[in-house]
Structure 1
Amino acid sequence: MTERLTTQQVAEQLGVKVETVYAYASRGQLSSERAPGGRGSTFDAREVAELAARGRRAPVRPAGEASVGDASAVERSGAGAWPGGPVTVRSGLTLIEDGRLYYRGQDAVRLAAEHGFEAAVAWLWGLGTDAPVSLRVPPATAEALTRAAAALPEGIRLPDRLRISATVAAALDPLRFDLREQTVLAAGSALIAAMVEALPRTAPDPGPDATLAARLWSRLATTAPTPEALACLDRALVLLIDHELAVSTVAARVAASARAHPYAVVSAGLGATDGPLHGAASPLAHRMLAEVLADGAVPVVSDYLRTGRPIPGLGHRLYPDGDPRAVALLEAVARLDGGAAVVAAVAEVEAAAGPAGRPALRANIDLALAAMALTAGLPPEAGEVVFAVARTPGWLAHAVEEYREEPLRMRTRGLYSGPRPQQG
């Protein structure tokens, strides 16, 4: 095994203060692991030797010219231990490369085609797919969620109920501050199920042994699902389980960096999904696609362009040639009753929105979720709910990774641009 060095040993070998060692780690120049027993960190001796050989000390600047991220300048100025530079997040969870999405080296589209959500959660959590994670709500939590739901006024949005469920579940868990991996994932398994339990049932109860997709369907639909419809929802959940450092995942990791408990980590992620540019984008695409089915793509798209509104559900900066998650989900939607017409409407939107002489923008996962909801008769906010429930195990997996890092490493420094303090 590679020799591991303590933080103090690294500082002595590099000739820097301990705070500067943490700065190197936060910027990805050194990788750290928690020391046995959870106290302090250890570092790869080979990485330390390579860093020492390269002489990676930051250049000395005149006083007053310290830049954000210049750990040595912060050290010289006595500003404290915060390195303040951009944080490099090392993660073994998700890779986006050459237009494809991979979970722990497994193609996400293939995983969604071959396994259900519980097995995909197990895979993302490093447990393999042979023993799917059990997603069940403790009886006491289920009872508390029922009482909380009864106290809510009419008209509460489904995504807001998810946020309330995380708070209720946290209050009932006396071990929520135990950040050991096994405890975090056990709490997470119950929380994922609690989020679904918190939604009012609108379709027949699928039974206690039903999959999470079946239980979620009974909270979104008004009729029992066909096998194809349930498989489509299950596929959507798997395709959305993680997406590298999306904004909600960054929010979750920042909370974990401060050693927030897993329920608070999920609450941070849920908060970031409430904006129209991330998790809440699907309802906007649902409304637009419903208009297209009623009036045709050209007049609807023209109205968006004329009023300067972005067309929801098109394009993704990480997938210039098309979102593979959307392609896989739309293939499943096309197999549902009425799905072919909805998928054809999606293609019409792509064509109508494409600039003349340039490749058309492709549907992203938000538009695909809207297509699924419209085809299956689910409410407009169904896509937002599916997104949040599906992404929760991803946030928890990132939290587990972040708990192994130095605490508060996500603390950065700003460049002050306001008025200077009054002198004298």
Structure 2
Amino acid sequence: MRDQEPAPMDAERRLSTKEAAELLGVKPETVYAYVSRGQLSSRRVSGGRGSTFDAGEVEALARRNRRDGSGGSGPGGGNPGGELSVRTRLTLIESDRYFFRGVDAVDLADRHTYEEVAEWLWTGRMLPGCTFTAPAAFVSVARRAVEALPEHAAPADLLRVATVAAATADPLRFDLSEDAVLGTARTLIPTLVAALPPAGHHRRDEGPMAHRLWTRLSVHKDPDEASLRALDAALALLVDHDLAASTLAVRVAASARAHPYAAVSAGLGVIEGPLHGAASGLAHRLLQDVLEQGDAAPVIADELRAGRRVPGLGHRLYPGEDPRARALFALLEQIPRAEAALLAARDIVETTARHAPLHANVDLALAVLTVSSGMAPTAGETIFAVARTAGWIAHALEEYGERPLRMRPSGLYAGPRPPQPLPE
């Protein structure tokens, strides 16, 4: 028989440290460990030395601890495996769907532009028709910095250098007020896109962000409306995705009160990994190999023989289908040029499904877009990074409102016990 859970407390009621500890069944010092891990927020007592805690938050954490069987034994309580959790109002992922501020993210991407979805994530307000403008001085210094890099520089290198360069041009970068950070967001994203070299002999620096980015990625000079719509939707779908590794890096930087440019740079430093932003490039190459051979079976066999997992399949947060992939595939089906790549992607999924019931993830959908649009294998990484910059800014904004340096876990020392003799 299930234990009956107590009725929710008054959301306005605040608990003392002792009361919170009793409700959670832990020691008072463990309550502060929960705060340092981002699982609870605290407020200093006016004129006093103690802290108070939101009763609703404490009760929710107690419910999670009971549900997960942790018993509130430590700061990892409520998180299987002791994983770090961070309170956020931005993105929720559940039941093979995800939501931005409570609104279905796929619906947002279907009905609104990337810029509009970014504004919604930042402010909770919808601003139809909004566009972002890059100051000429920022673009100039960012382009000079990017042009100085070697030709083989990766997308993350270009964007990271452009971010640092733009920061040097902004004397107000240390202003962490909400209005100032939002102003930075609205200028940094178009600056990053403007700093990228053109894919062909043309460059567009006005209009929707997807249109500007297209000229940096595709050799096709005059894209059809369906292709631009697919790129814009990809940007909107990738704006945020809970606490991915790069987003955690951004929040750690913001917790130390690094300015927004530095926080974004931290995210760009992580996104380059093959298990994160660069995954779409692996899917792009896989798709190209399937198109060249005309059959997915030998290509997948080679991947597995080499001990590699098949890219573009499965996602740890979606037991079923990745909703981002589903939405992007639907848009790609409206592009005649993408038909061959779509068939190849379907062949990959069906061939692998004989042994593992894995669905296509957003990396495979991105690969269909980049392969069919005449883009380089690294284009998906660029799309991912530009899109996610908006989400990183949203998370930085949230973190600036939290207690400084709360993202500072304690190390669990496993080395030799001191005192040890001095080395010779």
TM-score, normalising length from structure 1?
Answer: 0.83
Q: Which runs of 5+ in 1 are unaligned?
A: 57-66, 72-84
For the pair 1:353 / 2:352, whether they are aligned, the reply is yes
Distance 1:399 1:212 in 2: 22
Query: In structure 2, what is the equivalent of residue 311 of structure 1?
Result: 310
Structural mapping, 1:4-403, within 5 Å: 10-11=16-17, 22-27=32-37, 30-32=40-42, 43-44=53-54, 69=75, 87-203=84-200, 204-206=202-204, 208=206, 210-222=207-219, 223-295=221-293, 296-356=295-355, 359=357, 361-403=358-400
- Structure 1 residues 51-103: Cα deviation after superposition (integer angstroms, max 9, x where no partner): 99xxx9xxxxxxxxxx97499xxxxxxxxxxxxx8653111111111101111
Contact kept? 1:109, 1:324, Cα under 8 Å: yes
Contact kept? 2:106, 2:237, Cα under 8 Å: yes
- Structure 1 residues 372-393: Cα deviation after superposition (integer angstroms, max 9, x where no partner): 0011111111000000000011
* CA positional deviation for 1:134: 3.2
Distance 1:165 1:41 in 2: 42
* CA positional deviation for 1:157: 2.8
For the pair 1:410 / 2:420, whether they are aligned, the reply is no
Distance 1:355 1:35 in 2: 61
Contact kept? 1:336, 1:375, Cα under 8 Å: no
Counterpart secondary structure, 1:125: helix
Contact kept? 1:200, 1:219, Cα under 8 Å: yes
TM-score, normalising length from structure 2?
Answer: 0.83
Distance 1:148 1:211 in 2: 24
Describe the shift of the 1:151–1:298 C-alpha distance in structure 2 as closer, same or farther (beyond 3 A). same
Q: Which letter maps to 1:341?
A: A
* CA positional deviation for 1:114: 0.7
Distance 1:146 1:4 in 2: 53
Describe the shift of the 1:323–1:418 C-alpha distance in structure 2 as closer, same or farther (beyond 3 A). same
* CA positional deviation for 1:274: 0.8
Describe the shift of the 1:131–1:26 C-alpha distance in structure 2 as closer, same or farther (beyond 3 A). farther
Distance 2:300 2:400 in 1: 46
Distance 2:76 2:218 in 1: 54
Distance 1:34 1:138 in 2: 41
Q: Which letter maps to 2:292?
A: A
Counterpart secondary structure, 2:16: helix
Contact kept? 2:17, 2:52, Cα under 8 Å: no
Counterpart secondary structure, 1:338: helix
Contact kept? 1:121, 1:132, Cα under 8 Å: no
Describe the shift of the 1:41–1:345 C-alpha distance in structure 2 as closer, same or farther (beyond 3 A). farther
Distance 1:283 1:195 in 2: 20
Q: Which letter maps to 1:294?
A: E
Counterpart secondary structure, 2:327: helix
Describe the shift of the 1:30–1:247 C-alpha distance in structure 2 as closer, same or farther (beyond 3 A). closer
* CA positional deviation for 1:41: 7.7
* CA positional deviation for 1:154: 3.0
- CA-based RMSD of the aligned residues comes to 3.0
- Greater shift in the superposed pair: 146-155 or 386-395: 146-155
Distance 1:47 1:225 in 2: 49
- Greater shift in the superposed pair: 345-354 or 378-387: 345-354
Query: In structure 1, what is the equivalent of residue 5 of structure 2?
Result: none
Distance 2:104 2:282 in 1: 29
Distance 1:50 1:216 in 2: 43
Percent identity between matched residues is 51
- Structure 1 residues 104-151: Cα deviation after superposition (integer angstroms, max 9, x where no partner): 111111111111111111111124223454321111111112322333
Contact kept? 1:313, 1:366, Cα under 8 Å: yes
- Greater shift in the superposed pair: 197-206 or 272-281: 197-206
Contact kept? 2:34, 2:75, Cα under 8 Å: no
Q: Which letter maps to 1:392?
A: T
Distance 2:412 2:114 in 1: 43
The aligned length equals 389
Describe the shift of the 1:86–1:156 C-alpha distance in structure 2 as closer, same or farther (beyond 3 A). closer
* CA positional deviation for 1:321: 1.2
Distance 2:372 2:308 in 1: 25
Distance 1:121 1:18 in 2: 40
Q: Which runs of 5+ in 2 are unaligned?
A: 1-9, 67-72
Distance 1:193 1:257 in 2: 25
Describe the shift of the 1:409–1:317 C-alpha distance in structure 2 as closer, same or farther (beyond 3 A). same
